[in-house]
Amino acid sequence: MKLITRNTDYALRALCFIAQCRGRVVSVSELALKLRVPQPFLRKILQVLNRKGILRSLKGQGGGFVLAKGPGKIFITDIMRVFQGKLRLNECFLKKLACPHRNSCRLRKKIIKIENYVLGELNSITLGSLLE
Amino acid sequence: MKLITRNTDYALRALCFIAQCRGRVVSVSELALKLRVPQPFLRKILQVLNRKGILRSLKGQGGGFVLAKGPGKIFITDIMRVFQGKLRLNECFLKKLACPHRNSCRLRKKIIKIENYVLGELNSITLGSLLE
DNA sequence: GACAAATGATACAATTATGGTATCATTACT
DNA sequence: AGTAATGATACCATAATTGTATCATTTGTC
């Protein structure tokens, strides 16, 4: 029942660190060292963030990563979606066919309520709000 | 990011069904048939619920399961804990040693807030409240 | 231009969690 | 005695997660 997986966690830590460097280009090796996180894994994560337009990368010597947008514009739900897919607490296991009660299912309704709250809260968290 | 795993889900369905039988002894084979759920897996699940004192089992021919207590006294958090362990959304991946910010971590604080809400809501759900 | 230091892309591997099966022992009703 | 049920438990399959390894490409520096 974890909300945040390890790669999301690493990603957030890295983003925080990069944000605090205020535009300075940060290499994976520096990040891995500072965050004490496995370097090849972190590298893969940052490459994904680059592809998704959250980081911007600079190749070649002296290269590395910078934020692609302001910390106030990076929502942790963005990051979560990148690494964890659609954000749903719900997902009925027995699909329509097997579970004829799907629409009247009380549990489902309660979970949807919880889900709405959780998503609401998460949507209010930006990278910026983690740094203040 | 799922709140409820499959075995919890199966368990809840089974418990609902058993509750609706109002004391009649229900066998695994009947349950598996009605719920359209794999029988050996369901059996294992019910055995666990028996060990945990949520169901009571009767062996031998004509045997099966009945609720060990009233539906109003069975909380879905009980069931979740049985199959999913401690209910925490939190769990910092980098433990104290690696993450020196653990206590001041803003993200952690926000997640704890969310966690409290979620647990509060879940704690209000009993088997009974799913049946009404 | 050669070299070194960085990322890009991608394939592969290890570990863990989840979901599920199989089997033998035990109990109890008929 | 036979049968229909659960108890206990070992095993297996699959998928997700968490990584590693490697080769290609880019770019700054000498």
Strand B64-67 and strand B55-58: pairing? antiparallel
Nearest residue to A2 via CA among B117, B126, B84: B84
Q: Point out the residue among A12, A90, A115 whose CB comes nearest to the CB of B107.
A: A12
With a cut of 80, say whether residue B100 has pLDDT above it.
no
CA geometry: angle at B86 spanning B40 and B38, to 5°? 15
Give me chain B's average pLDDT, please.
91
Which pTM value belongs to this model?
0.92
- In this complex, the nucleotide whose C1' atom is nearest to the CA atom of residue A7 is D18
pLDDT at A121 over 90: yes
Distance B1 CA to C21 C1' (A): 27
Question: Which pLDDT belongs to residue B39?
Answer: 97
Residue A100 pLDDT: 61
**Interchain pair A36, B125: CB under 8 A:** no
B85-91's contacts with Cβ under 8 Å and 24+ in sequence apart are: B87/A1, B87/B119, B87/B122, B88/A1, B88/A2, B88/B115, B89/A1, B89/A2, B89/A3, B89/B114, B89/B115, B89/B118, B90/A3, B90/B115, B91/A2
Contact A106 B93 (CB under 8 A): no
B98 has a pLDDT exceeding 60:
no
Q: Using the CB atom, is residue B27 less than 7 Å from strand D?
A: yes
More confident residue, A90 or B31: B31
Interchain pair B107, A76: CB under 8 A: yes
Element at A64 (helix H, strand E): strand A64-67
Going by C-alpha positions, the residue among B14, B38, B10 that lies closest to residue B27 is B14
Q: What is the pLDDT of residues B38-93, one digit of tens each?
A: 999 999 999 999 999 999 999 999 999 999 999 999 999 999 999 999 998 876 65
Q: pLDDT tens-digit profile of A60-94?
A: 999 999 999 999 999 999 999 999 999 988 766 55
> Does A96 score more than 50 pLDDT?
no
Inter-CA distances, B79 with A80, A81, A125, B14, B122, Å: 27, 28, 31, 12, 11
Q: What percent of chain B has pLDDT over 90?
A: 78
pLDDT at B105: 81
Within 8 A of A121 by CB-CB distance, chain B residues are 110, 113-114, 117
Beta strands in chain B (DSSP E): 55-58, 64-67
| pLDDT score at B19 | 97
